[in-house]
Amino acid sequence: CAGEENWVDSRTIYVGHREPPPGAEAYIPQRFPDNRIVSSKYTFWNFIPKNLFEQFRRIANFYFLIIFLVQLIIDTPTSPVTSGLPLLFVITVTAIKQGYEDWLRHKADNAINHCPVHFIQHGKLVRKQSRKLRVGDIVMVKEDEKFPCDLIFLSSSRGDGTCFVTTTGLDGESSHKTYYAVQDTKAFHNEEEIDALHATIECEQPQPDLYKFVGRINVYHDRNEPIARPLGSENLLLRGATLKNTEKIFGVAIYTGMETKMALNYQSKSQKRSAVEKSMNVFLVVYLCILVSKALINTVLKYAWQSEPFRDEPWYNQKTEPEKKRNLFLQAFTDFLAFMVLFNYIIPVSMYVTVEMQKFLGSYFIAWDEEMFDEDTGEGPLVNTSDLNEELGQIEYVFTDKTGTLTENNMEFIECCIEGHVYVPHVICNGQILHDCTGIDMIDSSPGSSGKEREELFFRALCLCHTVQVKEDDNVDGLKKNQVPRRSCIYISSSPDEVALVEGIQRLGYTYLRLKDNYMEILNRENNIEKFELLEVFSFDSVRRRMSVIVKSSTGDIFLFCKGADSSIFPRVKEGKIDQVRARVERNAVEGLRTLCVAYKKLTDEEYSGVQKLLQSAKLALQDRDKKLAEVYEKIERDFILLGATAVEDRLQEKAADTIEALQKAGIKVWVLTGDKMETAAATCYACKLFRRNTQILELTTKKIEEQSLHDVLFDLNKTVIRQNGSLTRDTFSGLSTDTQDYGLIIDGAALSLIMKPRHDGSSGNYREIFLNICRNCSAVLCCRMAPLQKAQIVKLIKLSKEHPITLAIGDGANDVSMILEAHVGIGIIGKEGRQAARNSDYAIPKFKHLKKMLLVHGHFYYIRISELVQYFFYKNVCFIFPQFLYQFFCGFSQQTLYDTAYLTLYNISFTSLPILLYSLMEQHVSPDTLKREPSLYRDVAKNALLRWRAFIYWTFLGVFDALVFFFGAYLLLDNTVVTSNGQV
Amino acid sequence: MKNKTSFLPREGEAQPSRCPDNSAFKQQRLPAWKPQLTIASVLSSFFLTGAFCLTVGVCLVLSANSVREIQVDYSDKCSDCSKLRENSSNWNKECHCSVNFTLKEDILGDVFMYYGLQNFYQNHRRYVRSRSDAQLLGRKVNIQRSNCAPFSTYGNGTPMAPCGAIANSMFNDTIDLFYSHNSSVIQVPLLKTGNSWWTDKNVKFRNPKSYNLSSAFAGTARPPYWQKPVYLLDEEDERNNGYVNDDFIVWMRVSAFATFRNLYRRLRRVRRFAEGLPAGNYTFRISYNFPVTRFKGRKHVILSTVVWSGGSNPFLGIAYLVTGTAATLTGFVITGIHLKLRKKKTYFQRQ
C-alpha cells in the first residue's frame, strides 16, 4: 500500500482518540462534524428571510411583488392592498406549510440528537446525548438499539465476532444481515479491553452508497509494526440500522452526524417537473404578453382619446398644476404601468397555491386507495412526491423490469440437470416443503459410478455455494436442532433464487443446516452431518453474473464451487458435458425458467494459498478495490469442470398479462428491460402477452450482429418496419388496420452498447436514429442482458428522442433505481429485493397489477382534474379582467376600476379558488370502472390533450365571450334606465 | 414548495397498519348524480327551458312596454342660454327656459322626474376620486391630503366644503313643471326628498355637528362653481340641507357611464295629481345654469313611471325571448335529427 498516504479523499481516525505511536506515519488531523443530525432547512432566526428569499425566487411570486411595489410607488387605480393581500396570503400559506414541515423535521432531529448513547471513556461506560458523539469514540450498542452513527464493528458479545442487524429503518429490508467484527479486535469483550485498543482507521470520505465501503485498520501492538486489516461494508454498521439477536457490540465511530450514510441518502433528490407544470408556465407567459399588449393598447388609445381638449380636461374635471406640468413621456410610462396594475389580475396569483394544494391533497386519494392495497404484504401504495400525479395520465412508454415486477420473484425449484440427466423433485406443492418428498425422478437412465460422484458433488455445490442465512428461533438451542433432522427452517437471502435452490436441494435430500464458526453444515441423504470450512466467498454481482465459494471438506480437499449464468460459466469450463447441459439450459430458458449453471474445480493447497495472497492484496486496496477484486476473481474463476444446471421457475405476477394488455390498449408502449437471458425473457414476454402469437419478432442481438454487420442488421430491420409503416397508413385510411403486422423487437445489452457507442466518424447519431425508428414502429420491445446503467441509458434515449415522450419506469430492485430516477415517473414495487427501488421512486405500489389502476384511473383523473383546474384559472381571470379592459373604452381610458377593492382582493384568493379546488379533488367525468374496463379512453388524454394550444385558446375565447356577455349584458340592462321599483338610480 | 418531505426516519417508532379506511370519501365513491342523456331528457330540458324563458321574456317585455316615459332634450331648446353658459364669466347671469309638451293620455301611478346627461364622464378616474368621504361624513379633515385637488382649497387656504370635482360640478339647473288647465297654470307639486338611497342619506353623508348649520361650515367656502354655500342648499328643510341634501347626495353617487340619468323629483300625488299626471299641456320651466355644450354634451329632462321590473328598458325581456327561442329551436332541430336518425337506423336494421 505504499504511496497511498496522501489520498485526498480519505480520513484517518484514531480509535478512542489515542494517538498512534510516534514511529507511525504522521497524519494531518482532520476536523469532523459532531453527531448532530440536521435535516431541517431553517432555524428559528433565519426562517423568515430565508423562506421569503426562496419563495420570491419563483417567477409568479416575484412578479406580484413587483406589481405590489409599483402600486406603492406610483399612483395606480387600485390600492396596493389588492395585490399585496393575495400575495401575503399565498406567501403565508406556503410559509406555514414549509414551516410546519420544518418544525416536524426539527422535532425528529431533536428526538434523535438527544437520545442517550453509551460510550467508553477511560475504560468506563458513560451515557451521553447522541449529538455529543465524536468521530473516534468507542460506542457500545445493546440489542434492539439503533446505531447512533456509522460504526466500524470491533467486537460483539457473540463469540464468533458477528452480529445481526436489520436495516428496516434504512432501506426497509427486514431480513437479518450478518456483520463481522474486525478479526484482531473481536476478542475484546469488556470496556477495559476495548479501551486498551490502540489502532488507527483509514477510510474513504463518506459516500452515499449504503452498500459500499473501503477502509483499513492498523492495529498497534506494543512496538511491533502495525497489523493492517481490510475493512469492507461487512464491518460497517450503519446509522439507522438496528442490532438484533446480539446482546451488545462495541464499535468505533467513523462517520457522524450529517456525514453518515443515512443522512447523505436522505438529502433531497433532483426534482421532476410534470408536463402540465411546463405548459402552465408557457400559458403564464402568454398571459403576460396579453397583459402587456392590453396595457399598451390602452395607453395609446388613452392619448388618442385625450387629444381633444374638451375630453382631456373638461370644465368639471380639471387637472392639478403638477399634473399639467408633467413630462408627457413620463406620464405615458406611468399610465402604462397603471394599466399593467389594473389588468395584472389576469395572472392568477393563487394558481400555484391551489395547484399545489390540489396535488398534495389529491395524493392522499392515491395512498388511500383500497384496491391498491395488498393484503399479503400489508403494503399499500406510497406517494413519495405529489408533484407528478397528473403525469401518470400522460405516460407513453412504460419500461418495466422483469424479475419481481412482471414476475412474482417467488422462485420455485423445478429441476436440475446433472451431466445431461434430469432430476425433478416429484412433489411440488406451491413452494411448500413437504417432508416426505425427497424422492427423485430419473428421467434418463441411471448414471454410472462417476456420474454418481458428480451428482453428489453437484448437490453439495448447491448446498454450499450461496449466501443464504438460516433464521434461527432463539428459544431453540443448537442441540435440539440436531436432534430434529428434518425440521423446516426458514432461509433468508437477498436473492430469492438462492432460497429456491437451497430449498429445492433440501427436497432432493441435502439440507443446508447453518453456518457456524466458519463451518457450513449440511445434512446429507444418509442423515449424516457433513462439515465444510468456508474459506472464501466471492459474492455475486451483476457484472460477473456468478458467485463462488472456496470450501475445505473434512477430508482436507479444497473445492471452488461456482454458480452463475450460463453465459458466464460456459466460457470458463474446460471439461464436462457442455453440449448436453447447454441443450437442456436452452430448452428450459425457452420455457421461461431461470437457469443457473454449476461448476467446480479442485484446488491444491499451494493454489489456494496463491489465491489467498491475491485476494488479500486486492482487499487491502483503498482505491479501486472493486476493480482489483474483479480482476482477481477473473483470474481465479476459470478452468472449471461443469457439473450441471438448475432451473427455477419464477411465476408471473397475478394479472400481469391483463395489465400489460390494458396498457397496450391504452396506447402505451411497454418495454421490458431485464438482465435475464433472451430466451427466458422472451418466454416471459409471451406469457404476459407482451408478444402475441402473430407478433413478428425482430432480433437485434449479438448473435445476429456476429453474422452480419451492425449496419446491415439495422438497415434491414428498418426497411422491414418502414414497409410495414407505409401499408399501415393506407390501412388506417380504410379503417381496417386490425390485421396489420405487429412487430416486437428483441435487443440485447451488447448490441445496444454498440448502437450507443459514439463512433469516430460521427455516424453514431445515425445509428441511434435508425434504432429509434425501428423501436417506434414496434408494439413491444424486449431488452435483455441489460446492465443497470444500460436500463437508464435506454430510458434516456427514448426520453430525449425528438417526440419527447413521457416515460415511466417500474422496477423492484436496486438495479432498477437508475432507470427509476431517469424516467419522468419512477414507480417502485415494494417487493422482495428490498426497498431500494421503492425509496427512490416517485410512487411505490405493492404489485405490478396496481399499475393499471394507477395509470388508467388515477392518472387519467388527475390529468383531467389538474388540466381543468389550470384552464379554469386562466378562464376565470379572463372573465374577471376583460370587462375591466372593455370598461376603459367607456371611461375615457382613465384606469377607473370596475370592481371594488375587496372584490379585487378576494376574487382570486377565495371566491374562485376554493370551489375549483373541491372540483379538482372530486371530479370523475367517467366512472373508475369504465376507465378500467376501457383502457382506450386513456388515449383521449394522451399527449397533454387538454392543455394543448387549441384547448387553451378555446378556454381563453370562452373567457372572452363570457366577459363580453357579462359586460354588455350589464351595460345594456342598466343602460339609461332604472332597475329599482322605487325609481332611484 | 415541493411536497417531498425528506424526513429522516424516526427512530424507535412502530409502523401502524397501513390498511386504508373503506369509506366512501377516501375511496372516492361519494354519491354523485350522473345524468344519462336520453332523447327524452334532453328534449324535455330544451323545451322546458325554452318555454320558461319565453314566458319570462314576454312578461318582461309587456311590463317594460307599459312604462310611460317622456324625454325632452333641452340643451339647445334655449339657444341663448346655452350660448350664455359657454362663457364662464356669465355665471351669475340668470337664464330661464321653457319647454312645452302635451300629454294625450293620463300617466297613472308614481311619476318620477329625472335629469339626464350625455357625454358627461362622471366615470373618469380623476373625477371619481375627487371627493373626500371623510369630509362628507362631517369629520374635520385636512382635505389637502384628500384627492380633491384642484378643488380642495382656495389660494388663501380656505378649504372648500364640499371639496372635489364631483361636488364642484353639481347639476344646478332647477326644473319646475307646470300644468296648463283651462288657461290656468298650476305648478305640479313635486317632492325633492326621498330621492336618494337610504344608506347614502343616513350612513355616507352627515353634516358636521354644531348648533346650527352655518356655524358648522364656518371657516369653509363654497366650491368655485356653486352659487351659494352648501348650508343654503335647502333653506326650508333642515334635514335636507348641507351635505344631506338629496340633490347633492344623488349627484355625488357617480354614474358608471358617460350617459346617465339621476332622479330629480317625484310627483307628489295630491289633489288633481292623486292618480298621476292627467292629460293636457305641460311646461318645464328651467333655470338654465349647467353648461353642456362646452364638452359636447346634451341634457334631458325625463318623466317616467316604473313597474316591478324597473324602467322602460326592454333589453332583459328581449334577452329572455332570444334565449327562449334559441332553446326551443334547438329542441326542434334535435327532434328532427333524432327522427331522421331513427329512420336510418331501422333502415340499417332491415338490411
3-state secondary structure A46-112: CHHHHHHHHHHCCHHHHHHHHHHHHHHHCCCCCCCHHHHHHHHHHHHHHHHHHHHHHHHHHHHHHHH
Convert the pLDDT of each residue in A334-361 to its tens digit.
999 999 988 988 888 788 888 888 988 8
Contact A39 B8 (CB under 8 A): yes
Contact A373 B19 (CB under 8 A): yes
Q: How many domains does chain B have?
A: 1
Question: Which chain B residues are Cβ-neighbours of A263 within 8 angstroms?
Answer: 8
Delimit the domains of chain A by residue range. Answer: 10-21+31-35+133-265, 382-406+652-721+743-756+765-856, 411-432+452-472+488-651
Beta-ladder partners of A178: A164
Lowest mean pLDDT among A611-615, A858-862, B250-254: A611-615
Greater confidence (B54 vs A711) lies with B54
Convert the pLDDT of each residue in A458-506 to its tens digit.
888 888 888 777 765 444 344 434 444 444 567 777 677 788 888 888 8
Chain A nearest-CA distance from B109, in A, is: 12
Q: Which of B4, B20, B263 sits opposite A985 (nearest CB)?
A: B263
Quick check: A83 and A909 in contact, CB under 8 A?
no
pLDDT band at B266 (very low <50, low <70, confident <90, very high): very high
- pTM score, two decimals? 0.77
So what's the ipTM on this one? 0.90
Q: Which of B2, B3, B150 sits opposite A320 (nearest CB)?
A: B150
The answer, yes or no, to whether residue A158 has pLDDT greater than 90, is no
Measured CA to CA in angstroms, residue A586 lies from A590, A595, A680 at distances of 6, 9, 9
For B5, nearest residue in chain A (alpha carbons): A101
pLDDT band at A435 (very low <50, low <70, confident <90, very high): very low
Q: How many CB atoms lie within 10 A of CB A497?
A: 20
Q: What is the dihedral of CA B287, B290, B295, B299, to 10 degrees?
A: -60
Contact A984 B315 (CB under 8 A): no
Residue of B246, B237, B242, B126 lying closest to B194 (CA atoms): B246
Question: Which chain B residues are Cβ-neighbours of A924 within 8 angstroms?
Answer: 28, 32
Q: Which of B2, B7, B296 sits opposite A39 (nearest CB)?
A: B7
Contact B28 A924 (CB under 8 A): yes
Residue of B206, B211, B173, B186 lying closest to B298 (CA atoms): B173
The pLDDT value given to residue B324: 97
Question: Which chain B residues are Cβ-neighbours of A363 within 8 angstroms?
Answer: 3
Q: Is residue B119 part of a domain?
A: yes
Give A800's DSSP letter: T
Widest CA span of chain B, in angstroms? 108
Q: Is residue B302 part of a domain?
A: yes
pLDDT band at A325 (very low <50, low <70, confident <90, very high): confident
Q: Is residue B18 part of a domain?
A: no
Report the C-alpha gap between A805 and A795 in whole angstroms: 10
DSSP sequence for B155-193: TTSPBBSS-SHHHHT----EEEEEEEETTEEEEPPEE-S
Widest CA span of chain A, in angstroms? 125
Quick check: B67 and B337 in contact, CB under 8 A?
no
Contact A984 B256 (CB under 8 A): no
- Sequence-distant (6+) residues with CB within 8 A of A95 are A47, A48, A51, A52, A55
Report the C-alpha gap between A338 and A897 in whole angstroms: 11
Report the C-alpha gap between B318 and A513 in whole angstroms: 94
The pLDDT value given to residue B337: 93
Contact B124 A385 (CB under 8 A): no
Residue of B303, B287, B304, B299 lying closest to B73 (CA atoms): B299
Question: Which chain B residues are Cβ-neighbours of A984 within 8 angstroms?
Answer: 195-197, 263
Convert the pLDDT of each residue in A133-149 to its tens digit.
888 888 888 888 888 88
3-state secondary structure A872-896: HHHHHHHHHHHHHHHHHCCCCCCCC
Convert the pLDDT of each residue in B66-90 to its tens digit.
988 899 998 888 778 888 888 777 7
Topology adopted by domain A382-406+652-721+743-756+765-856: Rossmann fold (3.40.50)
Convert the pLDDT of each residue in A866-899 to its tens digit.
999 999 999 999 999 999 999 999 998 999 999 9
Class of domain A411-432+452-472+488-651: alpha beta
The pLDDT value given to residue A28: 65
Q: Is residue B315 part of a domain?
A: no
Q: Hunting for cell 410534470 — which residue is that?
A: A274
Q: Is residue B97 part of a domain?
A: yes
- Sequence-distant (6+) residues with CB within 8 A of B130 are A317, B147, B148, B149, B151, B164, B165, B166
Residues in chain A: 985
Highest averaged pLDDT of the listed ranges A70-79, A659-668, A773-782: A659-668
Provide Rg for chain B, Cα atoms: 32
Provide Rg for chain A, Cα atoms: 35
The pLDDT value given to residue A168: 65
> What angle do the packed helices A275-306 and A328-343 form, to 10 degrees?
140
The mean per-residue pLDDT over the stretch A809-824 comes to 84
Helix (H) or strand (E) holding A806: none
The pLDDT value given to residue A130: 85
Report the C-alpha gap between B3 and A382 in whole angstroms: 13
Q: Which of A317, A359, A984 sits opposite B127 (nearest CB)?
A: A317
Q: Are strands A742-748 and A780-784 parallel, antiparallel or unpaired?
A: parallel
The answer, yes or no, to whether residue A279 has pLDDT greater than 90, is no
Q: Which of B1, B169, B310 sits opposite A977 (nearest CB)?
A: B310
User: A with B: how many residue pairs have Cβ under 8 Å apart?
Assistant: 205
Question: Which chain A residues are Cβ-neighbours of B253 within 8 angstroms?
Answer: 985
- Sequence-distant (6+) residues with CB within 8 A of A374 are A380, A846, A847, A850
Tell me which of A316, A369, A924, A980 to substitute to probe the interface with B (most B C-beta atoms closer than 10 Å).
Answer: A316
Query: What does the buried/exposed string (b/e) look like for B183-211 if buried means 16 or more CB atoms within 10 Å of the residue's CB?
Result: eeeeebebebbebbbeebbeebbebbeee
Residue A676 is labelled as binding a ligand? yes
- Coil/strand/helix, residue A492: strand
Report the C-alpha gap between A938 and A947 in whole angstroms: 15
Greater confidence (B230 vs A378) lies with B230
Establish how many alpha carbons lie within 13 A of residue B186's alpha carbon, considering only the half-sphere containing its beta carbon. 14
Q: Is residue B28 part of a domain?
A: no
Give A858's DSSP letter: I
- φ, ψ of residue A656 in degrees (nearest 5): -65, -45
Measured CA to CA in angstroms, residue A328 lies from A298, A317, A332 at distances of 16, 19, 6
Report the C-alpha gap between A611 and A91 in whole angstroms: 66
Chain B nearest-CA distance from A688, in A, is: 29
* Active site members of A: 401
Convert the pLDDT of each residue in A189-219 to its tens digit.
888 888 888 888 888 888 777 777 888 888 8
- Sequence-distant (6+) residues with CB within 8 A of A8 are none
The pLDDT value given to residue A732: 42
For B290, nearest residue in chain A (alpha carbons): A316
Contact A387 B3 (CB under 8 A): yes
The pLDDT value given to residue A951: 92
Chain B nearest-CA distance from A421, in A, is: 49
pLDDT band at B351 (very low <50, low <70, confident <90, very high): very low
Report the C-alpha gap between A608 and A421 in whole angstroms: 32
The mean per-residue pLDDT over the stretch B240-268 comes to 91
Chain A nearest-CA distance from B319, in A, is: 9
The mean per-residue pLDDT over the stretch A108-112 comes to 81
- Sequence-distant (6+) residues with CB within 8 A of A846 are A372, A373, A374, A377, A379, A380, A381, A829, A830
The answer, yes or no, to whether residue B43 has pLDDT greater than 90, is yes
The answer, yes or no, to whether residue B2 has pLDDT greater than 60, is no
Question: Which chain A residues are Cβ-neighbours of B110 within 8 angstroms?
Answer: 983
- φ, ψ of residue A613 in degrees (nearest 5): -65, -45
Convert the pLDDT of each residue in B15-41 to its tens digit.
445 577 788 888 888 888 888 888 899
Quick check: A547 and A538 in contact, CB under 8 A?
yes
Percent of all residues in chain A with a pLDDT value above 70, rounded to a whole number: 88
Report the C-alpha gap between B282 and B178 in whole angstroms: 6
Quick check: A512 and A468 in contact, CB under 8 A?
yes
Report the C-alpha gap between A864 and A942 in whole angstroms: 11
Quick check: A155 and A187 in contact, CB under 8 A?
yes
The answer, yes or no, to whether residue A703 has pLDDT greater than 80, is no
For A369, nearest residue in chain B (alpha carbons): B27
Percent of all residues in chain A with a pLDDT value above 90, rounded to a whole number: 15
For B171, nearest residue in chain A (alpha carbons): A316
The pLDDT value given to residue A450: 67
Helix (H) or strand (E) holding A498: helix A496-507
Contact B313 A977 (CB under 8 A): yes
Mean pLDDT of chain A, nearest integer = 81
The mean per-residue pLDDT over the stretch A245-268 comes to 80
Contact A369 B22 (CB under 8 A): no
Q: Which of B18, B260, B306 sits opposite A983 (nearest CB)?
A: B306
Greater confidence (A178 vs A370) lies with A370
Class of domain A10-21+31-35+133-265: mainly beta
Residue of A161, A138, A156 lying closest to A253 (CA atoms): A138
Give A908's DSSP letter: I
- Sequence-distant (6+) residues with CB within 8 A of A241 are A146, A147, A165, A166, A167, A169, A170
- Sequence-distant (6+) residues with CB within 8 A of A507 are A413, A425, A427, A433, A434, A437, A438
Contact A983 B27 (CB under 8 A): no
3-state secondary structure A347-405: CCCCHHHHHHHHHHHHHHHHHCCHHHCECCCCECCEECCCCCHHHHHCCCEEEEECCCC
Report the C-alpha gap between A326 and A323 in whole angstroms: 5
Report the C-alpha gap between B59 and B317 in whole angstroms: 7
Q: Which domain holds residue B78?
A: 60-309
Specify the amino acid at residue A384: N
